[in-house]
């Protein structure tokens, strides 16, 4: 897959469970942080859009866990984005470094609420597509 963005991160010890692997819920944080950094790289501020009355919200997520991350692992989080109807579809993958083992595959669908109503956003369209 061709990606539109990637960022590197490191697992912190408090993100791991008693088994010594990253707790499944923390992958949601990694994925969200990647999307926010992607928006910033496209000169779109999530916070500024909220102040303008436009909120991008998660409508659906599908995650497939493959290989667990462990404490101090470095990883790269990559994404691509497309638009299907009113939904922005983010295909996101997390790979452990340096071996590039696939840890998580995710499809995250976002929609925009403009002044609380489901709508298209020209700002998001310009920045993401």
pTM for the full model? 0.93
**What is the chain's Cα-based Rg?**
15
Exposure on the CB side of residue 63, measured as CA atoms within 13 A: 16
Give the integer Cα–Cα distance in Å for 121 and 99: 39
pLDDT one digit per residue (tens) for the chain, 129 residues: 899 999 999 999 999 999 999 999 999 999 999 999 999 999 999 889 999 999 999 999 999 999 999 999 999 999 999 999 999 999 999 999 999 999 999 999 999 999 999 999 999 999 888
């Amino acid at each position: 897959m061709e990606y539109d963005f990637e960022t590197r991160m490191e697992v912190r010890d408090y993100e791991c469970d008693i088994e010594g692997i990253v707790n499944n819920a923390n992958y949601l944080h990694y994925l969200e942080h990647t999307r926010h950094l992607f928006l910033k790289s496209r000169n779109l501020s999530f916070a500024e859009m909220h102040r303008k009355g436009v909120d991008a919200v998660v409508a659906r997520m599908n995650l497939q866990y493959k290989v667990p991350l462990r404490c101090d692992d470095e990883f790269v989080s990559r994404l691509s984005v497309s638009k299907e109807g009113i939904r922005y579809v983010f295909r996101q993958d997390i790979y452990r470094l340096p071996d590039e083992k696939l840890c998580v595959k995710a499809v995250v669908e976002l929609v925009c609420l403009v002044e609380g109503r489901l709508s298209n956003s020209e700002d998001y369209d310009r920045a993401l597509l």
